[in-house]
Amino acid sequence: MSTNSPPGPRRVRVTSPRTSAARRPTTPTGTREIDEQTRLGEVYMSSLIQSQLRLTLAVIGGTGLILGSIPLLFWLAPATRTFAIFGLPLPWIILGIVVYPVVYVAARIYVRKAERIETEFTEFVGRQ
């Protein structure tokens, strides 16, 4: 047997014919900072969470103030406890009917503003 066997196939380097093609866009820095959990990413996330917390506390506070004032109304104006509209006592009307639109409006305000906060945050982080 001969030790001088013919050499194997030559190695060939294969490259893309489209070397001038546009490359994939890089991830914006802000998004990368958040994904990699760097200190700057933590600052971005903490600002988002603080904005959401402020909104939550404002909506809960406003709703609580409006709904919490109902018992105060009955206490300060005793005539409201016995006042009737269409044969129904006013407290029943307020607690059974009026409360729900107040809660609905508060929820709509919260959702709309929370979406706005998230959109602004996404736009800001995307520009970085």
Domains: count for the chain: 1
Task: Name the band, by pLDDT with cuts 50, 70 and 90, for residue 27.
Answer: low
Does residue 7 form part of some domain? no
Does residue 76 form part of some domain? yes
Does residue 17 form part of some domain? no
Q: What distance in Å separates the CA atoms of residue 37 and residue 43, rounded to the nearest whole number? A: 10
Q: What average pLDDT does the chain have?
A: 86
Whole-prediction pTM: 0.68
Does residue 99 form part of some domain? yes
What is the model's pLDDT at position 1? 55
Secondary structure (H, E, C), the chain? CCCCCCCCCCCCCCCCCCCCCCCCCCCCHHHHHHHCCCHHHHHHHHHHHHHHHHHHHHHHHHHHHHHHHHHHHHHHCCHHHHCEECCEEHHHHHHHHHHHHHHHHHHHHHHHHHHHHHHHHHHHHHHC
Q: 36-68 pLDDT, tens per residue?
A: 888 888 999 999 999 999 999 999 999 999 999
Does residue 4 form part of some domain? no
With a pLDDT cut of 90, the percent of the chain lying above it is 56
- The boundaries of the domain holding residue 83 are 29-127
Does residue 24 form part of some domain? no
